[in-house]
Each structure stands twice: as C-alpha cells, then as structure tokens.
Amino acid sequence: MIDPVRFAVVGAGVIAQQHGLVLHQLRQETAGAVELVAVVDPVRSRAQALADERGGQVHTSLAEAVDAVDFDVAVVCTPTGTHGELTVQALQAGKHVVVEKPAETTVERIDEVIAARDRAGTLVSVISQHRFDPATEIVVRAVAEGEFGRLTSAVASVDWWRGQSYYDSGDWRGTWALDGGGALMNQGVHTVDLLVAAMGRPVEVFGYTGTLAHERVEVEDVAVGVVRFASGALATLHGSTAVYPGLTARLQVHGTRGSAVVENDRLVYFHGTPAGQEAPEAFMGGNGAGTNQVQRFAGPDGVVPAPPTSVPGRMNDAHLYQYRNVLAALRGEEELRVGLEENRQAVAVITGLYESVRTGAPVTLTEPAPAR
C-alpha cells in the first residue's frame, strides 16, 4: 500500500459530512498518511461545500474523478439504490471501496458487486460500525468461546420514530427503488447485522409489514418477523419508525449457558458460563442483580465500556475503528472485518422478510455463489 492512502468521497449529502470528518481525524492521527483528494456530487455546490471544509478536488461524476485524480479508495455515500452501480464502477477502475450500508437493495445486486470485487481483486468494506462497539465485541467473543452454550434464541428490536418531515425531506426516502425498503432496511439494518454477527447464518425468515403512521411512503414503517438460523436457533425481529416518541434499539442473545442484552449500543446485561465451569441448575430464572455479570467487563475505574463517543465536531469512534480496520487490511496487517458477504446476510434477512410478506410464506435464504 502506498502512503498516503487517497480517498474520494462519492455523494456529498448528510452522511458524507461524517465520512469527511473521520477522514480528517485519520489524517491527523496518521500524520498525513490519509488524504481526501476528491469529492463527487452531481450538485457541484454541494460537493464544493464539503471540499472547502475537508479538502479535495470537486467533480460531478465518479467517471470524471477517476479520469482526473489519482486515488485509492472510493467512499460511496449516495442513496442506497445507487450503491451497487457506483461500487462496481469504482472496482472496474481498480479502486478499493468503502460503501455505506446496505451495499445494495437486493442480494442479487450484492452478488453482482461480489463478482466485480473478485474480478478486481480489491477490497470492499460495508459500513457496519456497530460491529466495532465494545458491547458487540464482548457478545460475539462470548458466543465464539462457548460462554452462552448452545444458542437458542434472540430478540432484535428497533423502536424508533421518524416524523413525516423526515420522509418528505428527500424524493428518494421511503421508495423501493432508492431506499430499498423502510424501517427495516434503512433504520433496522444495523441491528439485523448485529443479530447475524451473534447468531450465525440465517436460513429462513417469515414476516409481516405495515405502513401505519406515515403518508406518501411506498415502504413499511412497521415490520415484524421470525428468523431461523443454521444452528436451529430462532429469533424475533421488530423494526419500526412508528414508535412515538422513539425508544431504543435492543438485541438479546440467549443460550443454554448464558444470555446478553445490548441496548442502544451499551451492554446492560451479561451472564455467561466460562469454559470448564458448570452452569448452576436453576428452576426459575430472573433478571435480578445477582445474575448480571456485566461488571466482569469494567475497567480499572469500575466503569463498564460504554458506546463509542459521539459529540459535536467528532465522529463516532466506531466509524474510526472500522476505518482503521480498512487501513490495516490494505496494509495486509488484518483481515477485513465487515465485507460484502457479511452485509449480504443482513440484507438477505430483510429482503427475505419482504418476499415473505408478498407471498405469505416462509422464505429460504441462499448463500452467495462461490467465487470463480
């Protein structure tokens, strides 16, 4: 990998401001080994505003930027329904890609991007920053080390509110073509991703959806479903932007030797049985303080790891962690932790639920075809 690593941000909307900020922070912490060299947006004034703040040449198309600027990584921050096309275009130009979640609106389109990546031989990381939260890492590690025993069930719930003004703020919001779905695809995809990270490969889904609290919206604002995993474990799924005034995102993971609850990215309950120990027999369980082992993970100050910081003028540290992983993967020092295959599983659950709504039957989820 050649230093500095040169980035081009494609799409200069709201989320691009955050990526511009994290690239600025990375440039500072790497003493200039990260550089934003181009900002792309069909609305030139929007691209210019981000470039004025964070640097880089201004271009109105990715093709124009590829011809004019030497860069290594394209950061795709456009509406969801354009992610695949732009990612493939960047891959065909020999670029690595960081793409906002989800990578595309269907598994078929993600498979096309996977094929393009394999042909290009470059890296694609899908933004799934909550996999880098301390709470998520604790739970995933406990699963891998067998502290929960055999996984039996999970509950994933996103209980949020979005006012009508949110959907009216952009023509693409709430559309199948560019949003790819509603509360589950747009707001719930992170929690579905964490569900898959903890529980393993999903194999079947069944669900219902409704649009109950908003107007002029093609997609759902309420979705409920049941997911079956390859291990046999079952999960319930709830995603909504119709929960006034907006509550929490929550993941519960349960097994024969322990359980965990993550709420708003914070580990609020943990009980595991380390390898080599017997789980005490319990006739009836409760959520009392005596069963909560969350203090096992407290630091020297006695504080349990909190969600990464997010304060004005500073990017959520989880995004920094993911970008650091991308840079380490480019250097050959780490495996890429969140690629297209991981995101494909989350999208498969969501689009499978949508297909179940259409057909009224459970939907079997497929794996991607092996690379040729």
Token pair for residue 249?
Answer: 């995102």
Q: Would you list the DSSP string of 120-187? A: HT--EEE--GGGGSHHHHHHHHHHHTTTT-SEEEEEEEEE-B--HHHHHT-TTTT-HHHH-SSIIIII
Beta strands in 230-300 (DSSP E): 234-240, 249-255, 259-263, 266-271
Spatial distance between the Cα atoms of 223 and 184, rounded to a whole number of angstroms: 7
Residue 288: pLDDT band with limits 50, 70, 90: low
- Calculated CA dihedral for residues 194, 200, 205, 208, nearest 10 degrees: -20
Rounded to a whole number of angstroms, the CA Rg of the chain reads 21
Type of residue at 329: A
Give the residue range(s) of CATH 3.40.50.720 domains in the chain. 5-130+318-339
Give the residue range(s) of CATH 3.30.360.10 domains in the chain. 132-309+347-356
The pLDDT score that the predictor gives to residue 335 is 96
Residue-wise over 284-306: b if at least 16 C-beta within 10 A, else e? eeeeeeeeeebeeeeeeeeebbe
Count CA within 13 A, CB hemisphere, residue 203: 8
Does the domain formed by 5-130+318-339 have CATH 3.40.50.970?
no
**C-beta neighbour count of 335 within 10 angstroms:** 9
Residue 298: pLDDT band with limits 50, 70, 90: confident
Token pair for residue 7?
Answer: 């980035």
pLDDT digits (tens, 9 = 90+) for 336-364: 999 999 999 999 999 999 999 999 999 99
The pLDDT score that the predictor gives to residue 179 is 86
> Residues 344, 152, 131, 194: is their CA dihedral positive or negative?
positive
pLDDT digits (tens, 9 = 90+) for 126-154: 999 999 999 999 999 999 999 999 999 99
CATH topology of domain 132-309+347-356: Dihydrodipicolinate Reductase; domain 2 (3.30.360)
Residue 23: pLDDT band with limits 50, 70, 90: very high
Q: Which of 54-63, 125-134, 285-294 is predicted least confidently? A: 285-294
* Cα distances (angstroms) measured from residue 309 to each of 298, 314, 369: 17, 8, 39
Model confidence at 60: pLDDT above 90:
yes
Percent of the chain with pLDDT over 70: 93
Residue 42's nearest CA partner among 79, 67, 7 is: 79
The residue length of the chain stands at: 372
Residue 315: pLDDT band with limits 50, 70, 90: very low
Type of residue at 312: P
Model confidence at 285: pLDDT above 70:
no
